[in-house]
Chains A and B, each alone.
Chain A
Amino acid sequence: MMLEPIPIQKLKQRFMLHLDPVLLYGLGALLLVSLITLFSATDASWARIGGQLINILVAFTVMWIVANMPLHWLMRIAVPMYLLGMALLIGVALFGDISHGARRWLNIGVATIQPSEMMKIAVPLMMAWYFEKNEATLTWRNHFFAAILLAMPVGLIVRQPDLGTSILIAASGFYVLFLAGLSWRVMGGLFVAALASAPFAWGMLHDYQRHRVMMLLDPSQDALGKGYHTIQGMIAVGSGGFLGKGYMEGTQTHLDFLPERSTDFIFAVYSEEFGFLGNLILLGIYIFIIGRGFIITANASTYFTRLMAGSITLTFFTYTFVNMGMVSGILPVVGVPLPLLSYGGTAMVTLMFGFGVLMSIHTHKRLVKT
């Protein structure tokens, strides 16, 4: 690195070198909405706003670092990261701490970590790396092996149990398979197999997971129990109307009827106070980001980067859809936060890691070209 002093302008240029301004606008808008909504959801708690600002700072730093990483570095860490993740998952299954009836955390002496979170990146990374390695001689066998690479961590996470995370990882892996040209016939076969195994899968689910699915079909049958989340979420969204009840005026929010309103149900808070119009704007921001992701994907230069960028973009969409669908009552309540809106550092770091990868793909390709 150069040791001579750099002018401010140069410093700024260096800082922005691997960042994508278009994505930054979108992410910035989303994070602004997050802070505004969080302020209402927490009844004007500056402490929570401060906490979220720190989360944003950390996540942004991670994104910047990742964005500045050359792509071959990213490829180089794929295998170790995946193996480490698997090891940790097995460790969780054997020695993990139990909290809220689920075994998700592993105490590694210095800190307690949740290995499933890092697998959100590690799994698609590993699969994309694998396809890249076998690009020249791609057969159905490669797809099959990639599917196993996906199934192992997903299976372990389902058993923790953590339905939300396993759905997201399964989706991210599936997107890699799909974009890597998984044959339509296999997909059709998988679809049929999934339907056929549904009764079996039902038996594998934990009681609380089954309840959540049942509640989706008829939340009112247990309005004060398992259906409470869904009902209160729908009431909040529905009572928002076209223009919403006004900022800080949501009764569902401020009288504590909404559960988990700064995390998984933050969309209900937003929706109650800003209404249908607000939802249109928010969906617009998400579409803007996802659209940018598609453009980056379409222009990616290598097989690996195309698969990776596509998976990250589509996973981000999946996050959004599953959370909004759950809050508005068309999907069962699974623990999926609304990306970049919900309070919480872990999910944000993971997501921004993904955007870092997207930016790296975009900017390093540009550099390669020049």
Chain B
Amino acid sequence: MMHKIELKNHQREIYFFRLRLFLSLGFVTVMFIILLLRFFYLQIIRHDYFETMAESNRIYVVPIVPNRGVITDRNGVVLARNYSGYTLEITPDKIADIDATIAQIGQLVEIKPKDLRRFKKLMSERRSLQTLPIRTRLTDDEVARFSAQLYRFPGVEIKARLFREYPYVETTAHLLGYIGRINQQEIDKLEEEELATNYLGSDYIGKTGIEQRYEAEMHGVTGFEQVEVDAGGRAVRMLARSSPQSGKNLTLTIDAKLQEIAVQAFGDHRGALIAIDPNNGEVLAFVSQPGYDPNLFIDGIDTENWDALNNSLDVPLNNRALRGQYPMGSTIKPFMALAGQYYNARPATREISDPGYYTLQGSSHRYRDWKADGHGRVDLFKSIVVSCDTYYYGLATELGIDRMHDYLEKFGFGKKTGIDLEGEVSGLLPSTAWKMKRHKQQWYAGDTVSAGIGQGYHLVTPMQLAFATATLANNGVAYKPHLVKDIQHAANEPQAVPQPLYDVKIPAEHLDLVKRAMVAVTQPGGTAVGASLGAPYSIGAKTGTAQVVGMKQGEKYDASKLSEYNRDHAWFIAFAPADKPRIALAVLAENGGHGGSTAAPIARKVMDYYLLGKVPTPTKTPDAKVSAEHD
């Protein structure tokens, strides 16, 4: 429909125009109201939100990593320290061609194949936007040379950092453990424990050993610097700062020199040694041999070193002291002797006749003594001195496995000692209930017989045996074994004094008899006659032999080594001075044969240093002179 206005009406036209203009005015008004509402929404209603957004735009929080606590031994000898140095680090996510970049870097600073291998390994495990070291410990010259060229390498930076170092290297490896770069799993755990904030700038975390167990104490509190940054990320000024709190220093109960002597005493032997002060549970030496270089792990170990450690037949990464489980062998006998008296199963003075074997009633099977023609007439005292098997076959049968279990448990067998390290295992203390539960089988009388001399199902860790020996040495008063003597604290904070865990309550005459017998072990006629040769203090001890049923072998099977790895493990437990023990220890020499010949000399060197301050002469100490008739 169209109207053709023949005659123009000026007033009418103006009226229509003004109507449209008025509508336009309405439109403009509505649109401005919309704008106004929008401003109101952004600036009044959501102001807090946008204020926060603006703040987080401009305020950047830079974490300041605290210094990790230093670890010293009981005499202040430094076992783990920090030193400052420079690393060259790469953020792989910021670099397109990493190989080319590394090649270019290589023209300025030396990059060894070892560095490259480690870098490749870290690359495969990295988190996004993580920086990875390509070179550590740059020299001042290298820092200067590379700094001048740094602009050519976006995504590459030189970082000044504190490094961790373990000066005693292998000697303290299993004790201290090491720190290493934080992995995703650890991040998740930190987040779960709501500690992630404290680790914002941290690259390292304790992975094993003391470093792991005392992570919370040694890490310290991360400080923060609030910096105002511009859109390019450049810091404009500092707004606020909270200082980091250094981690606490640890003083261990360990005596570094003692530890060193113990390690040296092992020579090429594999094994473990734990020395404890029986009066308070302080662990004086904690050795697992062979060790490894923990420094290799801090920035990620390279594949070659890793393979060497991981595939070695000697399994150096295994903490034998804490996690190795072995048959007790004859070291069970002093504890069996106490059990026999406790239950009054066999009076100490009653003599048995040892024909060289033992038979169960109604059976013709002979359980052989280690001495084929027997020890003759044997009472309790002699049974320990000569380590008579027949005596204990019979005693075990008279006690029964469950009473053995109940009594041995008091000395900590079959349970973790609770030492302040992660990953301890609990060994195995058998009982009828255990066998039914584990093997769905009843307990046989024959099982009890071999249990009497510590063979069969019994398994102990060197740690457990050391704890039991210390408890025995301290007349049944047990202290929790511990490695940390003191955590750095304010002067007015009271220091916790070790409290006894419990008292086994051994009647004095029982204890006296067993201890005297253990002293006689190191005297002529005993199984470790050489152990106290020339010592100005008396030693109570017991030897033991753990039969190797089948040691877990590495992948590579070395026929020439087979015989060696199948040899018996040697045990030696001891305390000294016998009348008032200041040190108790357990020594295990893997495949060492007889306890008296390999394990006892190691123990002797440790005791000599601890009690006399005597440092062994570097020449080979008279191993051969220490005669050992048997275990």
Interface string of A160-200 (1 = CB under 8 A from B): 00000000000000010011010000000000000000000
Residue pair B50, A234 in contact (C-beta under 8 Å) = yes
Residue pair A252, B21 in contact (C-beta under 8 Å) = no
Residue pair B20, A255 in contact (C-beta under 8 Å) = no
A301, closest chain B residue (CB):
B14
Residue pair B47, A239 in contact (C-beta under 8 Å) = yes
Interface string of A121-143 (1 = CB under 8 A from B): 00000000000000111111000
When distances are taken between beta carbons in the complex, the residues of chain A under 8 Å from B46 are 238
A172-B113 Cα distance, complex, nearest whole Å: 71
Q: Which residues of A contact B (CB under 8 A)?
A: 135-140, 175, 178-179, 181, 232, 234-242, 251-252, 255-257, 271, 275-276, 279-280, 283, 286-287, 290, 294, 297-298, 303, 306, 310, 314, 317, 321, 324-325, 328-330
A324-B53 Cα distance, complex, nearest whole Å: 20
Residue pair B39, A294 in contact (C-beta under 8 Å) = no
Q: Which residues of B contact A (CB under 8 A)?
A: 2, 4-5, 8, 13, 16-18, 20-21, 24-25, 28, 31-32, 34-36, 38-40, 42-44, 46-47, 49-51, 53-55, 57-58, 228-232, 236
When distances are taken between beta carbons in the complex, the residues of chain B under 8 Å from A314 are 24, 28
Partner of B8, one of A136, A271, A294, A306: A136
Within the complex, what minimum Cβ distance (angstroms) separates A12 from chain B? 33
Residue pair B17, A306 in contact (C-beta under 8 Å) = yes
Residue pair A241, B36 in contact (C-beta under 8 Å) = no
Q: List 24 A-B contacts (CB under 8 A).
A: A140-B2, A181-B20, A234-B50, A237-B42, A238-B54, A239-B50, A239-B51, A239-B53, A239-B54, A241-B51, A242-B44, A242-B47, A251-B55, A255-B228, A255-B231, A257-B54, A271-B43, A276-B39, A279-B36, A294-B24, A294-B25, A324-B35, A325-B38, A328-B42
Question: Contacts A238-B47, A314-B28, A328-B35; is A276 near B40 (CB within 8 Å)?
Answer: yes
Residue pair B35, A255 in contact (C-beta under 8 Å) = no
Interface centre among B54, B57, B232 (most CB of A within 10 A): B54
Residue pair B28, A290 in contact (C-beta under 8 Å) = yes
Residue pair B231, A235 in contact (C-beta under 8 Å) = no
A66-B16 Cα distance, complex, nearest whole Å: 29
Partner of A179, one of B17, B38, B42, B49: B17
Question: Contacts A178-B20, A255-B230, A257-B231; is A237 near B57 (CB within 8 Å)?
Answer: no
Partner of A275, one of B2, B43, B49, B230: B43
When distances are taken between beta carbons in the complex, the residues of chain B under 8 Å from A238 are 42-43, 46-47, 49-51, 53-54
When distances are taken between beta carbons in the complex, the residues of chain B under 8 Å from A280 are 36
When distances are taken between beta carbons in the complex, the residues of chain A under 8 Å from B18 are 298
A138-B5, A328-B38 given; 16 more Cβ-contact pairs under 8 Å: A139-B4, A238-B46, A239-B47, A241-B51, A242-B43, A242-B44, A256-B231, A271-B39, A276-B39, A276-B44, A283-B32, A286-B32, A294-B21, A303-B13, A325-B38, A328-B35
Question: Contacts A255-B230, A294-B25; is A321 near B42 (CB within 8 Å)?
Answer: no
Question: Contacts A234-B42, A238-B47, A255-B58; is A175 near B24 (CB within 8 Å)?
Answer: yes
Within the complex, what minimum Cβ distance (angstroms) separates A216 from chain B? 13
What 10 A-B pairs come out closest when comparing CB atoms? A238-B50, A239-B54, A256-B231, A238-B42, A255-B230, A276-B43, A239-B50, A241-B47, A235-B53, A239-B51
Within the complex, what minimum Cβ distance (angstroms) separates B1 from chain A? 9
Question: Contacts A139-B2, A242-B43, A271-B43; is A321 near B24 (CB within 8 Å)?
Answer: no
Residue pair A321, B20 in contact (C-beta under 8 Å) = no
When distances are taken between beta carbons in the complex, the residues of chain B under 8 Å from A328 are 35, 38-39, 42
When distances are taken between beta carbons in the complex, the residues of chain A under 8 Å from B13 are 303
When distances are taken between beta carbons in the complex, the residues of chain B under 8 Å from A240 are 43, 47
A367-B228 Cα distance, complex, nearest whole Å: 61
When distances are taken between beta carbons in the complex, the residues of chain A under 8 Å from B229 are 255
Within the complex, what minimum Cβ distance (angstroms) separates A132 from chain B? 13
When distances are taken between beta carbons in the complex, the residues of chain B under 8 Å from A255 are 57-58, 228-231, 236
Question: Contacts A139-B2, A239-B53, A255-B236; is A279 near B24 (CB within 8 Å)?
Answer: no
Within the complex, what minimum Cβ distance (angstroms) separates B464 from chain A? 59
